[in-house]
Structure 1
């Protein structure tokens, strides 16, 4: 008669031999978790403070520059409204030829056809219309031309002109033994024979500012007997 075998309650089973499938699975599940070492010197990346400082400096510089430009503009506007500066005015009141002569050049100087000798007197009226502004004039240059030829050139020393003032500047310009080409000498001789010599006056003053004032022909009847100077 067959025997029945029943498993015992709370029976303990022996562990499977080493190297078997069940044994390897238990070892895997029983293995402790891996521990990753933590670097204690690590610090999270932060935004650089140098870039922020540069941006702030540039912004401050731009703000200061804009403020200066605005202040300068307001100051200029206030100055113009209060002072209301005006440009000075000039007038050549008189130009005279005290002596004038165009003669053939000597045989020694063959490069020119004629020689010019002249004395020119002038009066220039300078008027400052400003009520609160004086004007300091640097060197003033005066040139007198006729037929494209400079017959006199001079320089007025610096001076100061007060507000609401009119100054009369007088002087003379001398040309001594100035060589002329044949065409220029012939043109001046023809003008002298006609009794009227057209003059063109140039007045340069201050920082390169230039004013050119032509004058009408000046009578030469009284100069017909003048000798060269």
Structure 2
């Protein structure tokens, strides 16, 4: 005649399962912590530096303000410098906008690219303002700017970037660049003055 299992025997199997789950959880947590430490060590050793941005050239064409709407083509040569000796930079998306008196009046996107270490890349940005609605006060100010022969703008760049060191790539980071003020001349006879930009990363 088979004997009935005791209370100790009945609780042994659940206890073993609980112990196994706990062991797996500890191993997974240890692996996550180890991976985090490795990434932190790589980051501290490499110490990626911020890119350096300047506006090297700028122009304005077909500028017209009519019925509180702006049409124009703005052209900029944006100089991006990667000062890092070990980390290259992936630019996965790049947005460029032009603002006047804190109002965005033109917007464009640039082609994504990979920037090697200690590299200077010049981005040719053509930014179109097509029938952009503006307030009557801004329309008045823009007409006065054209009469004066020059216009003061702000150029902003927003990019999703990743740093790469060897086979390791960082997570996406948002790079924000603000170049202000940028002075554009309506007459091509006047030379453009380089503008240095502020970086937020």
TM-score (norm 2): 0.73
Cα distance in 2, alignment partners of residues 40 and 68 from structure 1: 46
What RMSD, in angstroms, separates the aligned Cα atoms of the two structures? 2.7
Say if 2:84 is the partner of 1:118. no
Unaligned runs of 5+ in 2: 161-171, 190-201
The runs of 5 or more residues in structure 1 that have no matched partner are: 1-38, 106-113, 224-229
- 2:46 matches 1:78: no
Q: Retained in 2: the 8 A contact 1:129–1:163?
A: yes
| 2:177 equivalent in structure 1 | 211
Which residue, out of 137, 140, 160, partners 2:94?
140
Distance of 1:183 and 1:201 partners within structure 2: 21
Distance 2:135 2:175 in 1: 31
Structure of greater relative contact order (alpha carbons < 8 Å, 6+ residues apart)? 2
* Distance in 2, Cα, partners of 1:210 & 1:222: 30
Provide Cα deviations, 1:80-136, integer angstroms capped at 9, x if missing partner.
Answer: 344332232222223222332213x3xxxxxxxx23221211011111122222222
SS at match of 2:8: coil
CA distance change for structure 1 residues 140 and 56 in 2, over 3 Å: closer, same or farther? same
Q: TM-score, normalised by structure 1?
A: 0.65
Q: Could you say which structure has the larger radius of gyration?
A: 1
